[in-house]
Amino acid sequence: MKTYEHDYTNAKKAARELCEAMELHTEAYKIEEEAYSKLNMAKIHFENYFSSLNLIPKERSFDSLTLIPKECLFSKEQLCFIRDEFACIMEKTDNANGELDIINVCQRLLDDPEFESYEQWKRNTSGTWSEIHEEEPEE
């Protein structure tokens, strides 16, 4: 499963540069009170930014990156269990309830190949979820 995390590298560099600039500037010159106040507020905002996860709830959208807290996701073991359970159901129901769709979501999240159809799933002889080998049609 591909996972992502928020990259703070550039923001940390900017905060460090801002702090150093404030120190250098206040040592060399008597900075105007308003300018110093704005620089200080920027520093406070950066400190607040770095002290939290910076995740906020948002409406479901597919036009931008959406972050999901890790505790809200299924583990690899849970995904394997779900996939295996739906495979057992599918064997009994002949995919009557669209079980293959759920299996394919699990496959995608586990970086395993997806099945194009229920028939392909039935023909698969690999014996593993990480490969798909279909029987050669008899002539």
pLDDT tens, position by position, 61-73: 555 566 677 777 8
Domain assignment present for 30: yes
What is the H or E stretch that residue 109 is in?
helix 99-109
Same domain, 79 and 50: no
pLDDT of residue 30: 62
Query: For residue 37, what are the domain limits?
Result: 9-59
pLDDT of residue 66: 65
Domain assignment present for 93: yes
Domain assignment present for 65: no
Domain assignment present for 103: yes
Question: Do the Cβ atoms of 17 and 95 come closer than 8 Å?
Answer: no
Q: Where are the beta strands (DSSP E) in the chain?
A: none
Q: Domain total for the chain?
A: 2
pTM > 0.85: no
Give the separation between CA 60 and CA 43, rounded to whole angstroms: 32
Domain assignment present for 4: no
pLDDT at 36 over 80: no
Residues 6+ apart with CB under 8 A from 1: 76, 79, 109, 110, 111
Domain assignment present for 139: no
Of 114 and 46, which is predicted with more confidence?
114
Tens digit of pLDDT for each residue in 74-129? 999 999 999 999 999 998 998 888 899 999 999 998 999 999 999 999 889 998 99
